[in-house]
Amino acid sequence: ARCTPPDRWRSTNHMCGPGYWFWLIPLSSGAHSLGIVCDAAMHPLETMNTHEKAMAWLRAHQPRVADALERPEHRLQDFLFLRHFSHGCKQVFSADRWALTGEAGVFLDPFYSPGSDFIGISNTLICDLIAKDRGGHVFAPYAELFQQLYFGFFENTMTLYRGQYALFGDAQVMPVKVIWDYTYYWALLAPLCCGGKLTEVSLIGRLRPQFERGRKLNLAMQALLRAWGAANRETGVDASTLDGRLLDQFGIDWFHEMNRALHDTLDNMAFAQRIRDNVARMDALAVEILLRVRETHPRIDDCGLDALLTATASTERALAPMWYAAA
C-alpha cells in the first residue's frame, strides 16, 4: 500500500521486524537521522556496534534501506553506538534542592518518542518544587511524592516495551498493539500533562482507582499481546502475507478524538469524568481485542483480562477488520 500523496517520508518512519525497529527521520538540514533499536537477546549488539557492521546488519534485515544508503549521493556524517539507551535512576528529586531531568534521570525506549514528554513531566514537577520553596512553603514531602509519581509513570510506560520486541515483526499483532498503547497513554498520563493537572495531588489521589484499573488492564493486555504473538509463531502464521495494508489511524474516529480532546480545558469535576470515560474506552477496546484473538486462537490464555473486564461486546467495532488482518 502507498500513501497518497506520497509524502510519508517527511515524517519519522519505523521499519519493524522481529526484535528490532529502524528509524528514518528527515532533518531540516536535508540529512536523515537513521538508527537501529533492538532487543540484544534477539540481535546481539556486537553485530552492529560499528558503521560497517550496522550496514551489514541492514543488508540482512532491511536490504532495500541498505541499497538506498549505499547510493553514491549519500555519505556518512556521523556514527554513534549506545548500550542501555533506556535506563532508570535511583533518585531524581531531592529535599536538598537538587533534581535530575531528561537523560540525566530516567529515559524510556524511543519507539513512541516519549523522551520529550517525560522531560516535560519532569520539568513541570521540578518547577512546582522550586515555586513552593521560593514561596516559603514546605516542599520536601512533595519532592518524595512527585518522585513516586514520576517513577510510577516511567514504570507503567515501560510495560509497553519490556518483553515485547518479538512482536515488532508480527504484522497482525503490532498494528493492534500500537492502537492499544496510544489508547492507554492518551487515557491517563497524557491528559494529566496536557490538562495541567500533574501537580494537583488531591485530584490525582481521587483518581487513583481509575489509574490502578487502567494499569491492570494494560498489564493484562500486554501479556495477551505476547501470547497472541507466540501463538502466531507456533501455528506458523506467515506475517509476510499480511503486508501491504495502509492503516490510517486518523480514520479511527474515536482514536483521533481522544488525541484532540487532550487539549480541552476542563475543571476538575469534568476532568475526573473524562478519565473515567477513557478507562471505559480501554475496557471496551480490550473486550474487542480479546474476542478477535480468540477467533484465531480459541484456547489462548486470557492473561487475566476476563476477570477485569466490565464492558460487553459492542455491535460497533472499535477497529475495522483490516486492523486485525481480517477480511
Flag the least confident range among 5-9, 24-28, 82-86, 194-198: 5-9
Query: What pTM does this model have?
Result: 0.95
> Average pLDDT over the chain, rounded to whole?
95
H or E, element range at 152: helix 140-158
The confidence score (pLDDT) of residue 311 equals: 76
pLDDT band at 315 (very low <50, low <70, confident <90, very high): confident
Q: What is the DSSP string of 208-236?
A: HHHHHHHHHHHHHHHHHHHHHHHHHHHHT
Cα angle 52, 56, 59; round to 5 = 140
Report the helix count and the strand count for the chain, using DSSP H and E: 11, 3
The confidence score (pLDDT) of residue 314 equals: 75
Mean pLDDT (whole number) for 278-307: 96
pLDDT band at 249 (very low <50, low <70, confident <90, very high): very high
**pLDDT > 90 fraction of the chain, expressed in percent and rounded:** 89
* CA terminus-to-terminus distance, the chain: 16
Q: How do the domains of the chain map onto residue ranges?
A: 8-69, 159-324
In the numeric block, which cell numbers belong to residue 281? 474506552
- Choice between 242 and 153, residue whose per-residue pLDDT is larger: 153
Mean pLDDT (whole number) for 126-154: 98
The confidence score (pLDDT) of residue 112 equals: 96
The confidence score (pLDDT) of residue 243 equals: 72
pLDDT band at 57 (very low <50, low <70, confident <90, very high): very high
pLDDT band at 2 (very low <50, low <70, confident <90, very high): confident
User: CB of 16 within 8 A of CB of 62?
Assistant: no
The confidence score (pLDDT) of residue 239 equals: 62
**pLDDT > 70 fraction of the chain, expressed in percent and rounded:** 98
pLDDT over 60 (residue 327)? no
The confidence score (pLDDT) of residue 7 equals: 86
- Choice between 104 and 312, residue whose per-residue pLDDT is larger: 104
SS3 93: strand
The confidence score (pLDDT) of residue 1 equals: 62
The confidence score (pLDDT) of residue 242 equals: 72
